Amino acid sequence: MRILFSMIASCTALLAAPAVAQTTLIHAGSVLADAAGEPSGPSTIIVEDGRIVAIEAGYRTAAGDAQVIDLTGKTVLPGLIDLHVHLTGDPGGDFWKEATEADEWGVVVGAKNARLTALAGFTTVREAGSGPQSAFALRRGTAEGMIPGPRIVAAGPALAIIGGHGDVNGFRPDVNELLDSGFTCTGATECAAKVRLASQNGSDVIKITATGGVLSQQGRGLGAHFSDEEMSAIADTAHSLGLKVMAHAHGARGIEAAARAGIDTIEHSTFVDEAAARAMRENGTILIPTLMAFKGVSEGLGKGIYTPVVEEKIRAVYDQAQVFMRQAHEWNVPIAFGTDAGVFDHGRNAEEFALMRAQGMSDREAFASATTVAARVLDMESEIGRIAPGYSADIIAVDGNPLDDVSVLEDVGFVMVRGRVIE
């Protein structure tokens, strides 16, 4: 009996003992730790249990069972952040599939796209609208290492007006009703209640469709949808719960109204004008331009991918999409990185950088928009966006220096998310 108690005590002690930390040494040709800095010389990044613990000059020799990753020919950078993706969807115009595909199918599609997104160098994404639970399932899957992919900040279903962009459109009335997400609202009280419902169900951020949209079957233009009172109720309620609000918005007056209501980020912002830009500056509202969305949908014109209603709207925004971010940049609107991946093929996210540069951003500004600036938007500036002690080990490697040519980020050769190497 004494021997049995001794064995039990020994096993209990082993279970209670902390696990031995797994140490990884990354030998980097150079380290660009921060968008505000310059690449270092040869360095060793030391990672333990998913976190960066030190950065040392030169190459440290591995001790014990420490793993060594040889990136001596590469520039090592913080992982990139995309603030607007739709992992659970792929591009195409078959809107009717909403009536034939289960929400669970979005998790299967999302697992595929999470991997592609991570391999492209994006170690954190903000999921900007999905089925009721699909993005939340993906969020857990990547966090627990069951699915290779980025850290996911998930909105879940978007709040929309009845019949507007983000609501179900294009079917018979009884089918529209059957497919309703449960997140449309009318009036300030109901809109506040839907924010609380989204929070209860697991949303990390509240997504609303503040204006009409391009890819929906609702063909009544791109003007404002929610009233001022409704948007203020949404913003105030979300902020009281510690959540931010992201607003799909194209038309200038919808952008201006959203900014004045306290919405945190404006997605797309195609027809931004000086009055809307002034409201964004005055209220600290961030622009997420999603230039790749416009490029992606224009590539599908005339190929039978989109319905006539959608094609007409794509053509209506095309010219403005080539200039609006330059105007916003000149008006000193703060800009962060987001692509709307899912409107185009996942994995092409980094093509956004060259489009941002073509509309007036410097290479350094574009790189910062997807690292330090995007991390601030997520209130995660002490966790991601830099390579520094204490930060999550979200690390990528490329050939060349993105401060000289940001398009080198289109070819990422190594990815680590939370200390886990993605392939």
CB of 121 within 8 A of CB of 79? Answer: yes
Task: Give the pLDDT confidence score for residue 23 in this predicted structure.
Answer: 94
Indicate if 394 and 295 belong to the same structural domain: no
Indicate if 190 and 67 belong to the same structural domain: no
Indicate if 237 and 93 belong to the same structural domain: yes
- pLDDT tens digit string along 201-237? 999 999 999 998 888 877 677 888 999 999 999 999 9
Q: What are the b/e assignments for 338-354, b being 16+ CB within 10 Å?
A: bbbbbbbebbbbbbbbb
User: Is 5 within the bounds of a domain?
Assistant: no
Q: What is the mean pLDDT of residues 361-370?
A: 98
Indicate if 396 and 280 belong to the same structural domain: no
Tokens of 201: 């169900």
| Predicted confidence (pLDDT) at residue 3 exceeds the cutoff of 60 | no
Output Rg (C-alpha) for the chain, integer angstroms.
Answer: 23
Residue 126's CATH number? 3.20.20.140
What crossing angle do the helices spanning 105-119 and 134-143 adopt, rounded to 10°? 50
Closest CA to 119 of 345, 303, 343, 336: 345
Indicate if 119 and 180 belong to the same structural domain: yes
- In terms of DSSP bridges, do strands 43-48 and 51-57 run parallel, antiparallel, or are they unpaired? antiparallel
User: Is 328 within the bounds of a domain?
Assistant: yes
Indicate if 399 and 364 belong to the same structural domain: no
- pLDDT tens digit string along 43-91? 999 999 999 999 999 999 988 889 999 999 999 999 999 999 999 999 9
CA atoms of 102 and 233, how far apart (whole Å): 32
Indicate if 318 and 412 belong to the same structural domain: no
Task: Give the pLDDT confidence score for residue 166 in this predicted structure.
Answer: 84
Strand partners, 286: 265
What domain count does the chain have?
2
- pLDDT tens digit string along 137-176? 999 999 999 999 999 999 999 999 998 888 887 888 888 8
Indicate if 127 and 61 belong to the same structural domain: no
Mean pLDDT, the chain, rounded, equals 92
- pLDDT tens digit string along 275-302? 999 999 999 999 999 999 999 998 888 8
The H or E element that residue 173 is part of is helix 173-179
- pLDDT tens digit string along 235-276? 999 999 999 999 999 999 999 999 999 999 999 999 999 999
Residue 44's CATH number? 2.30.40.10
Q: What is the mean pLDDT of residues 329-341?
A: 98
Instruction: For 122-165, give the DSSP string.
Output: EEEEEE---STTHHHHHHHHHHTTSS---EEEE--SPBB-TTSB
CB of 412 within 8 A of CB of 82? Answer: no
CA atoms of 206 and 195, how far apart (whole Å): 7
User: Is 16 within the bounds of a domain?
Assistant: no
Q: What is the mean pLDDT of residues 396-407?
A: 98
Look at the pTM and tell me if it is higher than 0.75.
yes
The residue behind tokens 């350094």 is: 364
Alpha helix locations (H) across 48-133?
A: 105-119
| Predicted confidence (pLDDT) at residue 12 exceeds the cutoff of 80 | no
- pLDDT tens digit string along 32-46? 999 999 999 999 999
Indicate if 187 and 209 belong to the same structural domain: yes
Strand partners, 397: 76, 414
User: Position 15: which residue type?
Assistant: L
| Predicted confidence (pLDDT) at residue 100 exceeds the cutoff of 50 | yes
Indicate if 374 and 411 belong to the same structural domain: no
| Predicted confidence (pLDDT) at residue 8 exceeds the cutoff of 70 | no
User: Is 14 within the bounds of a domain?
Assistant: no
CA atoms of 226 and 204, how far apart (whole Å): 21
Helix (H, G, I), strand (E, B) or coil at 54: strand
Indicate if 65 and 191 belong to the same structural domain: no
Indicate if 341 and 407 belong to the same structural domain: no
CA atoms of 305 and 314, how far apart (whole Å): 12
Q: What is the mean pLDDT of residues 96-112?
A: 89
User: Position 229: which residue type?
Assistant: E
Q: Which domain holds residue 58?
A: 23-79+386-421
Task: Give the pLDDT confidence score for residue 219 in this predicted structure.
Answer: 61
User: Is 398 within the bounds of a domain?
Assistant: yes
Any idea which of 13-27, 70-84, 314-328, 393-407 has the lowest mean pLDDT? 13-27
CA atoms of 306 and 93, how far apart (whole Å): 4
